[in-house]
Structure 1
Amino acid sequence: MDNTPIVYGFDTGTCSSYESIDFPYTEEPVWLLGRQYSVIHQLDELRDDFRSKIWITYRRGFSAIGGTGPTSDYGWGCMLRCGQMVVAQALILKHLGRDWRWTPRSQDDERELSESELLYFRLLNLFLDKKNSPYSIHQIAQMGASEGKPVGQWFGPNTIAQALKKLSMYDHWNNLAVHVALDNVVIINEIKQLCKAEKRNGQHILSPKGNWKSLLLFIPLRLGLTEINPLYFKSLKAIFKFQQSLGIIGGRPNHALYFIGVVENQLLYLDPHTTQPIVDYEEFTSNPLFDDSSYHQETAARMDISQLDPSIALCFYCHTESDFDNWCSLAYNALIDNEKQPLFEISKERPKNWQQATSFSDNTQSLNSLDYDLIPGASNVITLNHHSKEPFTILEDRIVVGNDSDEEFELLG
Structure 2
Amino acid sequence: MDCMFEAYLTHESVNFEPDDIPQTSEPVWILGKKYNATQELEIIRRDILSKLWFTYRKGFVPIGGCDGLTSDKGWGCMLRCGQMVLAQALITLHLSKNWFWTPETRDATYLQILSKFEDRRQAPYSIHQIAQMGKSEGKDIGQWFGPNTVAQVLKKLVKYDDWSCIEIHVALDNTIIIEDIKQLCNKTTTRSKTTSDNETTTNKEWKPLLLIIPLRLGLSEINKIYIDSLKQCFEFEQSLGVIGGKPNLALYFIGYVGDDVIYLDPHTTQKYALVENKLTDEQCLNDLTYHCKYANRIPIISIDPSIAIAFFCATEFEFDTLCTRIQNELIVSDKQPLFELSETKPKQWYHFDETATTIVSTGTTSSTATTNLFNTDQFLIEHQDFSNSDDDFEIIG
Same fold (TM over 0.5): yes
* In the alignment, structure 1 residue 368 sits paired with structure 2 residue 361: no
CA shift at 1:335, angstroms?
1.1
Q: Deviation digits for residues 374-396 of structure 1, max 9, x if unmatched?
A: 87xx32x784689xxxxxxxxxx
CA shift at 1:100, angstroms?
0.4
* In the alignment, structure 1 residue 50 sits paired with structure 2 residue 56: no
CA distance in 2, matches of 1:304, 1:265: 6
Aligned runs of 1:92-171 on 2, under 5 Å? 92-105=91-104, 117-171=107-161
Q: Does the C-alpha gap of structure 1 residues 137 and 199 become closer, same or farther in structure 2, counting only changes over 3 Å?
A: farther
Q: What amino acid maps onto 1:321 in structure 2?
A: E
Q: Which residue of 2 aligns with 1:322?
A: 317
Q: Deviation digits for residues 339-383 of structure 1, max 9, x if unmatched?
A: 1111000000001111122253255356632399987xx32x784
Which structure has the higher relative contact order (CA within 8 Å, separation 6+)? Answer: 1
Rg larger in 1 or in 2? 2
Aligned runs of 1:3-402 on 2, under 5 Å? 20-67=18-65, 68-105=67-104, 117-197=107-187, 208-280=202-274, 286-287=279-280, 290-291=284-285, 292-363=287-358, 364=373, 368-370=379-381, 378-379=387-388, 383=391
CA distance in 2, matches of 1:146, 1:358: 17
Q: Does the C-alpha gap of structure 1 residues 373 and 256 become closer, same or farther in structure 2, counting only changes over 3 Å?
A: farther
Q: What amino acid maps onto 2:76 in structure 1?
A: G
CA shift at 1:54, angstroms?
0.6
CA shift at 1:197, angstroms?
3.3
CA distance in 2, matches of 1:147, 1:160: 9
Q: Deviation digits for residues 238-271 of structure 1, max 9, x if unmatched?
A: 0110000000000000000000010000000000
CA distance in 2, matches of 1:72, 1:170: 25
Q: Does the C-alpha gap of structure 1 residues 81 and 158 become closer, same or farther in structure 2, counting only changes over 3 Å?
A: same
Q: What amino acid maps onto 1:79 in structure 2?
A: M
* Other structure's SS at 2:212 match: strand
Q: What amino acid maps onto 1:310 in structure 2?
A: P
CA distance in 1, matches of 2:273, 2:207: 31
* Other structure's SS at 1:315 match: strand
Q: What amino acid maps onto 1:311 in structure 2?
A: S
* Other structure's SS at 1:71 match: strand
CA distance in 2, matches of 1:48, 1:103: 9
- Further displaced range: 176-185 or 350-359: 350-359
Identity %: 51
Q: Deviation digits for residues 51-100 of structure 1, max 9, x if unmatched?
A: 11110000000000011310000000000000000000000000000110
Q: What amino acid maps onto 1:287 in structure 2?
A: T
Q: Which residue of 1 aligns with 2:363?
A: none
Q: Does the C-alpha gap of structure 1 residues 385 and 297 become closer, same or farther in structure 2, counting only changes over 3 Å?
A: closer
* Other structure's SS at 1:257 match: strand
Q: Does the C-alpha gap of structure 1 residues 59 and 198 become closer, same or farther in structure 2, counting only changes over 3 Å?
A: farther
Query: TM-score by structure 2 length?
Result: 0.83
CA shift at 1:324, angstroms?
0.2
Aligned runs of 1:398-409 on 2, under 5 Å? none
Q: What amino acid maps onto 1:187 in structure 2?
A: I
Q: What amino acid maps onto 1:35 in structure 2?
A: K
CA shift at 1:300, angstroms?
1.5
CA distance in 2, matches of 1:383, 1:306: 21
**In the alignment, is the contact (CA less than 8 A) between 1:372 and 1:384 conserved in 2?**
no
Q: Which residue of 1 aligns with 2:5?
A: none
Larger strand proportion of the pair: 2
Q: Does the C-alpha gap of structure 1 residues 305 and 30 become closer, same or farther in structure 2, counting only changes over 3 Å?
A: same
Query: TM-score by structure 1 length?
Result: 0.80
CA RMSD of aligned residues (A): 2.4
* Other structure's SS at 2:69 match: coil
**In the alignment, is the contact (CA less than 8 A) between 2:119 and 2:127 conserved in 1?**
yes
Q: Does the C-alpha gap of structure 1 residues 373 and 57 become closer, same or farther in structure 2, counting only changes over 3 Å?
A: farther
Q: Which residue of 2 aligns with 1:400?
A: none
Q: Deviation digits for residues 136-189 of structure 1, max 9, x if unmatched?
A: 000000000244210000000000000000001001111210000000000001
Q: What amino acid maps onto 2:123 in structure 1?
A: S
CA distance in 1, matches of 2:354, 2:77: 31
CA distance in 2, matches of 1:92, 1:135: 14
**In the alignment, is the contact (CA less than 8 A) between 1:284 and 1:290 conserved in 2?**
no
CA shift at 1:284, angstroms?
5.1
Q: Does the C-alpha gap of structure 1 residues 385 and 331 become closer, same or farther in structure 2, counting only changes over 3 Å?
A: closer
Runs of 4 or more, structure 1, over 4 Å off, are: 283-286, 371-375, 381-386
**In the alignment, is the contact (CA less than 8 A) between 1:82 and 1:257 conserved in 2?**
yes
